[in-house]
A and B are shown apart, each in its own frame.
Chain A
């Protein structure tokens, strides 16, 4: 099972990185989503895998899976929604403003460096 999960994380990471390196906004957003999955599952896996041992306290139960990574990942999932939403809106506004869906700065246009003068 560990092997399946580890290879799954690897595939998600590879797909995520490949998509993040694309030249247009939407693949980059999807790539970030893939990376988010990979990172969250990876973090979660740091608590090791256990089946049928949810961290719900019960006097009769002796073993629980590690609750701490779960708590960290839970907020990470919600925060990454916030991040995705922000990036999506950034991409959307950029497209609406310039009519260009690429992630390059415009050639010959005003670059950040040139605007200070």
Chain B
């Protein structure tokens, strides 16, 4: 998986860089650089193959049924973008080392930056549309983190939120679009999708898929009308702006359009959406850039404009458009990253980025200024630099493009865009670097360390080299374009400085002359511009967000009244309504299954149940009576289980009944003893009516089902219980073997519930609830806290009860019993000690830790399940055998008993933890010492191991 390694090496670096900061800033930067460099070297190992026209593909299946696999591939396009990402990334890593101030947390910076790098490489190299989406979202998230890197700056936080809202929202659209595209293409492999253009474009899903994907691409690449987030993202540290918001991330949208170009482009709808959007973005971005005073804002709008140009070129839908777009990607990445880094140098040295306060920098910091001027000239599209080449080719292509039947529209607007570019570039150059020297700089600017201008110089070197000797970019451009177009033949184009006297030449000359004039007349232009309306995108965005929040709050306020009574009523009423509709529509006659004969005990039990339920409903105000009567119901239920051949259920029900009653008694000790009678008769009668209807419905449903015949799947379980699971108690075998995974999940849920209880009550010993406890408890002390007979009886019973528990556990596989029931029995035996002898006494003697029991239980159950992997069987496969143990005889042991042990431990732990916690809250009131009996040796409290009670006990 060497390609995947390219993607994941930076991720590794993201983990290591924050650790390396302990050894200093250089170590941190070096770690980040080493991760990038390793990935870069690995990428370069694919260079010969890619340039021989190979496509290397590597895949590891993940969920093949969903078309999801870890698939990566390198072709010309992926290689080109990955090279940009890693190459510029390395320069940025060096630059940032010198850019970041001493107080900036550098480890965090490099971690975010490498996280972004990894995500971006994932976009460039993944061969699965679903994995691609994951990386896409990762770039949005890491961009959010990087923009908000200076957390103390409000602009940073706001800009980060805005970028996340826009690109994240577009990402959601992209997910939907990608799923539709995969559906239309019949595959999620990107390398396959791009070869199925005809199938896709014939599919009815094509248009919705295209629209959604375009929203994703346009938001990411800041196309009009989603362009506004990019300038606000400039609150990020400048290395981030240079890397994410000019060279790489914003080009992800362009990459998306290029990658899926063969699948999506070439239709009318593609042309009619993508070209105008790109064109409008190019002109508007360039126009706004002219009048921006902040260097980075100017560059940001210039980036918007350039991205618009690339989008427009891809929108043409012609192979030549693709070639020029890719050339512009390369050229823009070089000169714009150089310019952003230069802006960072200016900020760093002059203490301001405001063009109105700058001037004459060329005399103060000559090296940095010359580099910036060359890059700016390239941005303006002046000859002998690479920006000139792609701009000329773009203008030439525009001449041959006609939109909506208007012949001169595209070339005119393209020239306008080029003209504005000249204007803002010259303004930057003239007012920033040339012009008169200012004396008002906060500190004296001079050339920065080579670590800062070095990366700029490298990029400017490329700018000049390509500008002077255009063919050196030839192979890269050809290979990349072939990969985009999925062909081996490219349209005719020539990489040359001089193309003869062409329309494009005149358009270029016009642009340069008029652009220069505009800069010369800048003052009057600026006054005129100030009179124009300035739609403020941020204000509009904020208003939209505020409106959405207000709407959501309104809906919530109206629907969420906070009345559980109302919610419960609505939920039940809705269920009853659905049930009624079904009842009235479907057949509901009872079946002809023969009923069991009624016997007298059953009638008595039934009558008691009805009577008790009635009393509870009408007398629920008195809580203690309610509780007692409820446990009567529980008893009847367990008797019913026993009667109808479910001994395991009867045992479980009766032990749970005991535990629940103790729990509720404990809680009732702290809660009010009586409920307030309800005043609203409407509420009582309303809920009463719903309850009666629901009760009738459920009763009838149960009756109708029970009188019909059934064919159950359990014959399988019955037949295989002994030969397959090694036990004769079929219910237990189902629990620990056939459906062991369910049981495993259930004990985890139990454990989580117990931990939640622990957490909820642990903090009850502080704050408001602690004060209320302190007020309340003295009044609730009982007369005889520890009656002697109870104390004696429980202590005598304890060993017996535990023996019974062990017995029930051991026989569970073959006779009624098992981990659940045994756990409850043992827990009850232990809890009895607390009830009889008090919390202090019992807790001091408890040599077990319920937390550890829950953890151990889940781990043992899980390990038993994993154990079956060693025998090549699926998770939780049970096996058993017979062993001969001296004195005991022939014994059958199943691995399931280890699983059941896990269940047992978890249940004991959960019950104990829940009840301990409640009694711990109460025990402050209850410090009456246990009567010392003749059997009671003096107990040394200090020497006793106190596992359950940590030191907090004393503070409470």
Contacts and interface: CB of A to CB of B under 8 A. Distances in A.
Interface in B179-236: none
B671 A12 contact: no
Contacts of A86: 753, 756-757
B660 A6 contact: no
Interface string A56-78: 11100000111110110111011
A79 B730 CA distance: 20
A100 B694 CA distance: 30
A90 B688 CA distance: 26
A67 B756 contact: no
Contacts of A95: 670-672
B487 interface: no
Interface stretch (B371-379, B382-390, B601-609, B843-851): B601-609
Contacts of B572: 17, 20-21
Interface string A33-47: 110011011101111
B649 interface: yes
A21 B652 contact: no
Contacts of B691: 13-18, 21
B486 interface: no
A21 to B, nearest CB: 4
A55 to B, nearest CB: 4
B606 A6 contact: no
A38 B698 contact: yes
Interface string B604-628: 0010011001101100100100110
Contacts of A52: 645
Nearest to B609: A8
Interface string B746-776: 1001100110110011001001110011000
Contacts of B764: 92-93, 96-97
Contacts of B564: 28, 103-104
Contact of B667 (A42, A48, A54, A92): A92
Interface residues of B, number: 121
Do most interface residues of chain A lie in helix, strand or loop, or is the interface mixed? helix
Interface string A1-33: 111111111111111111111111111111001
Interface string B731-746: 1001100010011001
- Most B C-beta atoms less than 10 A away, residue of A2, A3, A33, A78: A78
B768 A97 contact: yes
A107 to B, nearest CB: 8
Contacts of A33: 630, 634, 660
A49 B640 CA distance: 10
Contacts of A99: 772
Contact of B769 (A34, A80, A84, A96): A96
B630 A56 contact: no
Contacts of A54: 645-647, 816
- Most A C-beta atoms less than 10 A away, residue of B599, B613, B703: B613
B620 A27 contact: yes
Contacts of B707: 2
A7 to B, nearest CB: 5
Interface string A77-117: 11111111110111111011111010111100001110010
B782 interface: no
A7 B699 contact: yes
B608 to A, nearest CB: 10
Contacts of A66: 710, 712, 714
B717 interface: yes
B258 to A, nearest CB: 41
Given A10-B699, A37-B634, A78-B652, A2 B596 contact: yes
A105 B561 contact: yes
B213 to A, nearest CB: 33
B598 A96 contact: no
Do most interface residues of chain B lie in helix, strand or loop, or is the interface mixed? helix
Contacts of B595: 1-3
A48 B706 contact: yes
Contacts of B761: 89, 92-93
A24 B572 CA distance: 18
A101 B556 CA distance: 24
A77 B721 CA distance: 23
Contact of A5 (B617, B640, B660, B918): B640
Interface string B685-704: 00110111011101110110
B749 A10 contact: no
Contacts of A16: 691
A92 B750 CA distance: 19
B671 A47 contact: no
B659 interface: yes
A24 B735 contact: no
Contacts of B623: 26
A19 B568 CA distance: 10
A79 B675 CA distance: 27
B705 interface: yes
A50 to B, nearest CB: 5
B483 to A, nearest CB: 47
Contacts of B664: 29, 84, 88
Contact of A78 (B614, B644, B695, B750): B750
B75 interface: no
A41 to B, nearest CB: 6
A53 B228 CA distance: 74
Given A24-B675, A51-B645, A74-B731, A56 B769 contact: no
B646 A9 contact: no
B473 interface: no
B917 to A, nearest CB: 7
Contact of B656 (A50, A78, A106, A111): A78
B702 A4 contact: no
Interface in B636-669: 637, 640-641, 643-649, 652-653, 656, 659-660, 663-664, 667-668
B630 A48 contact: no
Contact of B560 (A22, A80, A113, A116): A113
B639 to A, nearest CB: 11
A6 B565 CA distance: 27
A47 B713 CA distance: 11
A1 B595 CA distance: 7
B722 interface: yes
A42 to B, nearest CB: 6
- Most A C-beta atoms less than 10 A away, residue of B556, B630, B699, B710: B699
B637 A55 contact: no
B893 interface: no
A44 B642 CA distance: 12
B712 A1 contact: no
B586 interface: no
A41 B634 CA distance: 11
Given A26-B668, A82-B749, 18 more contacts: A11-B610, A12-B633, A13-B694, A13-B695, A21-B683, A26-B620, A26-B626, A37-B633, A51-B645, A64-B718, A78-B824, A82-B750, A85-B754, A89-B757, A96-B764, A101-B671, A104-B565, A111-B560
22 contacts: A10-B700, A18-B617, A30-B627, A34-B613, A41-B640, A44-B641, A48-B706, A48-B710, A51-B596, A57-B729, A67-B731, A71-B734, A73-B649, A74-B731, A82-B749, A88-B664, A95-B670, A96-B670, A101-B671, A101-B675, A112-B560, A116-B553
Interface of A: 1-30, 33-34, 37-38, 40-42, 44-58, 64-68, 70-71, 73-75, 77-86, 88-93, 95-99, 101, 103-106, 111-113, 116
Interface of B: 553, 556-557, 560-565, 568-569, 572, 593, 595-599, 602-603, 606, 609-610, 613-614, 616-617, 620, 623, 626-627, 630, 633-634, 637, 640-641, 643-649, 652-653, 656, 659-660, 663-664, 667-668, 670-672, 675-676, 678, 683, 687-688, 690-692, 694-696, 698-700, 702-703, 705-707, 710, 712-714, 717-718, 721-722, 727-731, 734-735, 739, 742-743, 746, 749-750, 753-754, 756-757, 760-761, 764, 767-769, 772-773, 814-816, 820, 824, 907, 910-911, 914, 917-918, 921
Q: Please give me the 3 A-B residue pairs with the lowest Cβ-Cβ distance, nearest first.
A: A105-B562, A10-B699, A14-B695
